[in-house]
Amino acid sequence: MATFESKISINRPVNDVYQFLADFNNHGQLMPDNVQNWSASYNEASFMVQNTIKLSLQIAERAENKAVNIQAINNPPFPVQLNWLLEANGDSTNVTFTINAELNMMMKMMVSGPLQKLADHEASSLKAELSRG
């Protein structure tokens, strides 16, 4: 299992951050430019990555003001889970975004860099998005 992690602190109450992440409709705002054809509902999302692979994701678990756990569904190229962990810190929130992927050695060499960039991009986009409002 390969793990890619990004940690940030957002100057917003934990409930604000949780409410944003609990709805997949909001996650499109966090995606990098190479994500195309984003389509989402409250519980599921699907998209293409640079015209290469199509991914479908589903929120597997919500723990109010603590976590949003996401899993890939519909035959992903490799098993992957995305986890947002939230920790209240006064009026701000500490956020840890983790991508766990089951990768063989060859896949790990090919996708480790892009998956770490994705983790960093989504976390920084979340901070930027919630700092606006």
Tens digits of per-residue pLDDT, 7-53? Answer: 999 999 999 999 999 999 999 999 999 999 999 999 999 999 887 88
pLDDT given for residue 133 in this prediction: 62
pLDDT given for residue 29 in this prediction: 95
Q: Which of 17, 9, 110 is nearest to 27 (CA)?
A: 17
Architecture per CATH, domain 2-132, reads as 2-Layer Sandwich (3.30)
Residue 99 has pLDDT above 90, yes or no: yes
List all residues 6 or more positions away from 58 whose beta carbon is below 8 Å from its beta carbon. Answer: 43, 44, 70, 71, 73
Integer Cα distance of 21 and 18 in angstroms: 5
| Per-domain boundaries in the chain | 2-132
Q: Is 117 exposed, middle or buried (0-12, 13-18, 19+ CB in 10 A)?
A: middle
Summary mean pLDDT of the chain: 95
